[in-house]
Amino acid sequence: MKLGIMQPYFFPYLGYFDLINYVDLWIVFDTPQYIRHGWVNRNRILHPDSAWQYITVPIMKHSRKTPINQIKVVQESGWD
Q: Per this entry, what is the length of the chain?
A: 80
Tell me the residue type at 66: T
Tell me the residue type at 22: Y
Q: How confident is the model at residue 78 (pLDDT cuts 50, 70, 90)?
A: low
Q: Which residues of 23-53 are buried (b: 16+ CB within 10 A; e: fewer)?
A: eeeeeeeeeeebeeeeebbbbeeeeeeeeee
> Would you say the pTM of this structure is higher than 0.85?
no
Give tens-digit pLDDT for 18-61.
999 999 999 999 998 998 888 888 888 888 888 888 888 899 99
